Structure 1
Amino acid sequence: MIKVYILFVLSVVPCSISIQLLNYADCGSSAIIHSILLEPCDATPCIIHQLQNYTARINFTARANHKRAFNFASSVTTGLNDKWSVPTFDACTNDLKCPIQAGLAQIYTITVTCPLARPSRVAAKWEVKTGDDPNDPDIICFVFPVEIV
């Protein structure tokens, strides 16, 4: 009986809460986005806490080859973009396998910290671009609702 109890506790403790983002908008991706998983998150809009880490797993297939890729993040409210810092600007030094090959499915995992911000409901925007300029074309771009608390 004790062994069963210990196994039960060990199997419950490491669980984390995540949600597959279904309520997101593609904002110009050249790649095909298959799914996006956000953790920890258990609702839509995702309730995110200032200075807490969040991990996104983006399952995608590129339609073209790309030598490099760069991360950009922001929140969008009433037409204004508020840039967020990203821990790893060069996506190829993070988890993304570069060069990115057309037709090859990848899961890109990145962890970001919610910035200090005035509590509000905003649209979070994530972009992976072909270059290090914000005006470069998007490989991946999606927007999803969040509530910052």
Structure 2
Amino acid sequence: MIAFVKVQLVLLSCVLCTGIYLKHFTDCGGHGTIHSILLEPCDSEPCHIFEDTTYHGTVNFTAGFNSQTALNKATAEIANAWGPFHVTPEDACGHGIICPVVKGETYTYTADAVPKNFNSSIRTVAKWMVVGDNNEYLICWDFPVFLNV
């Protein structure tokens, strides 16, 4: 009986935490090769983004250059300006990325982004980056989103 209840809880948590592999994204100047991007919770594209909700990204990529550092950043275009999303952890090292980053190595890293402070619902573009040495993008991708107040 206990095993049955555990299985039901696991299945319920899978239903509540839906995610999708993004198909509609573009590289925005990263030097690495992105193999896949899983975004949770999101059940369709464009993903509907809500303020103060935590979005979990899992990205598999191959590094295009060596770097001692790897920092997460995310933003979205709102009213013809780019507004930041809070990303945790800011330091991507140790979250699937082993630093120093080695050119040609493949990594699967995870991070969370929490959008804040948009004043209206709008369809727009979000940008997520992992920034390496000399402010160069290890990886960078744009993807369509619908921001919901």
Shorter-chain TM-score tier? 0.7 to 0.9
Q: Contact (CA 8 Å) 1:57, 1:107: kept in 2 or not?
A: yes
Distance 1:120 1:143, change over 3 A: same
Aligned counterpart, 1:147: 146
Deviations 1:94-147 (A, max 9, x none): 44221111221110100111213122112010111114x7xx211110000111
2:98 — aligned with what? 97
Please name the residue that 1:130 is paired with. 132
Identity %: 33
Tell me the C-alpha RMSD between the 2 structures. Answer: 2.2
Q: Which moved more, 1:38-47 or 1:112-121?
A: 112-121
* Residue 106 in structure 1 maps to residue 107 in structure 2: yes
65-74 or 42-51: bigger deviation: 65-74
- Contact 2:88/2:113 (<8 A) preserved: yes
**For the residues of structure 1 that align with 2:79 and 2:25, how far apart are their CA atoms?**
17
The aligned length equals 145
The corresponding residue for 2:66 is: 65
CA–CA distance in 2 between the matches of 1:73 and 1:3?
A: 42
Q: What is the distance in 1 between the residues matched to 2:85 and 2:4?
A: 44
Counterpart of 1:10 in structure 2 is 9
Deviation at 1:4, TM superposition (A): 8.7
TM-score, normalised to structure 1, is 0.85
CA contact (8 A) 1:37 1:58 kept: yes
* Cα distance, 1:90 vs structure 2: 2.3
Quote the Cα distance in structure 2 between the aligned partners of 1:25 and 1:44: 14
Deviation at 1:76, TM superposition (A): 2.0
Helix, strand or coil at the partner of 1:55: strand
Check 1:6–1:129 CA distance in 2 against 1; reply closer, same or farther (3 A cut).
closer
Answer whether contact 1:30 1:63 (CA < 8 A) is retained: yes
* Structure-2 residue corresponding to 1:34: 35
User: Is 1:121 aligned to 2:120, yes or no?
Assistant: no
CA contact (8 A) 1:32 1:60 kept: yes
Q: Secondary structure of 1:92's partner?
A: coil
Alpha carbons 2:86, 2:115 under 8 Å: kept: no
